[in-house]
Chains A and B, each alone.
Chain A
Amino acid sequence: MNKLYIILIVFSVIWIFEILHLIRSSKISIKYSLTWLIMAVLLLLVGLFPNFISKVAAFFGFLPTHFVIGIIFTLLLMLTLSLTLIVTNQKTQINNLVQEISILKSKKK
């Protein structure tokens, strides 16, 4: 078995436990935790079934390692985009809060 797949299995198992731990201690909201969990499970599957991955990779004309890296890269891109969306949304919320607090504060005087 390719060393990459062993590293992948070990890494994704640690990752799954870490995310489960974060969910249990309520440090990550359930809405976002699912995305991370799906990513970790996907990686684990890649590590567990390298032959299947090799076949799929060959079908698309990739080397298996490139294929795995490509999947991770795509997932990370999706995740960063969703983080940007969250940041934008929070910026609007902060903007509204600052405005309301400032108006309230000026009324108090």
Chain B
Amino acid sequence: MKNKKIILIIPAYNEEKSILKTVNTIIDYNKKNKTNLDYIVINDGSKDNTKKVLEENKLNHINLVMNLGIGGAVQTGYKYAYENGYDIAIQYDGDGQHDINYVEELVKPIIEDNADMTIGSRFIIKTKEGFKSSKARRIGINIISFFIKLKTRKKIYDVTSGYRAINRKVLKEFISYYPIEYPEPISSVDIIKNGYNIVEVPVIMKAREEGKSSISSWKNIYYMINVLLSIILMKGRK
């Protein structure tokens, strides 16, 4: 892990209360483990003081001039990572849900060349530990997972996980095409369909400390139908 250029991409929308803490855990992790993980915060046109917090603390960041949503924000980070020659890019939440201590396990399959993309997954090992999302959300995740299996013959358990790492090949793909709407499940199918390999790595997540999830309750059914439709109809571009 130490001889690879690795960057954490942190999309942030109204995360004034947690963004500094999130970045500090990365810096502390680097000190403790003598690693050189870089990070970039993508401020997705936040309406609160996220921008001020980023500037006052001189955190490495990009302010999007308009709100693009999670997909557009993450893709900005991918473009930045590609331009700056990173080997591995990790999507990492700004709200404290993700545990930095899993980074090593997350990038391991990529470094050993067993995967082009890894997903930090809450569901592959059946423990009661950590945050597993609400029951309704889990049902939704299972349905999407089932349809991805139908479409690609590959089982992905945690289809909405935002804790994901990709190598430079996938980085290049995501720069030219990254689904702006419902990015996580759709981009996974896209990557499999284009012949890349995805490996899930067990992680434990925490419940979000501040801010709201980007998927709100009533939009869930609409979200589900759109995602399923896109998955069923997707085709590889190669």
A interface, CB within 8 angstroms of B: 91-92, 94-95, 98-103, 105-106
Contact = CB atoms under 8 A, between A and B. Distances in A.
A31 B180 CA distance: 27
B79 interface: yes
6 contacts: A94-B66, A95-B68, A95-B72, A102-B63, A103-B80, A105-B65
Contacts of B63: 102, 105-106
Given A91-B180, A92-B180, A95-B72, A103 B62 contact: yes
A94 B61 CA distance: 21
Contact of B76 (A91, A92, A94, A99): A99
A102 B180 contact: no
Contacts of B79: 99-100, 103
A95 B64 contact: no
Residues of B contacting A: mostly: mixed
Interface string B44-65: 0000000000000000011111
A106 B63 CA distance: 7
Given A91-B180, A92-B180, A103-B79, A98 B62 contact: no
B52 to A, nearest CB: 15
A92 to B, nearest CB: 7
A99 B180 CA distance: 12
A106 B68 contact: no
Nearest to B43: A102
Contacts of B145: none
Interface of B: 61-66, 68, 72, 75-76, 79-80, 83, 180
B113 to A, nearest CB: 30
A32 to B, nearest CB: 24
B45 to A, nearest CB: 9
Given A103-B76, A103-B79, A103-B80, A98 B180 contact: no
Contacts of B180: 91-92, 95
Contacts of A98: 64-66, 68, 72
A106 to B, nearest CB: 4
Given A92-B180, A95-B180, A102 B65 contact: yes
Given A99-B79, A102-B64, 17 more contacts: A94-B66, A98-B65, A98-B66, A98-B72, A99-B64, A99-B72, A101-B65, A102-B62, A102-B63, A102-B65, A103-B76, A103-B80, A105-B62, A105-B63, A106-B61, A106-B62, A106-B63
A98 B79 CA distance: 12
Nearest to B80: A103
Contacts of A100: 79
A101 B76 CA distance: 10
A57 B83 CA distance: 61
Contacts of B75: 95, 99
B92 to A, nearest CB: 18
B40 to A, nearest CB: 9
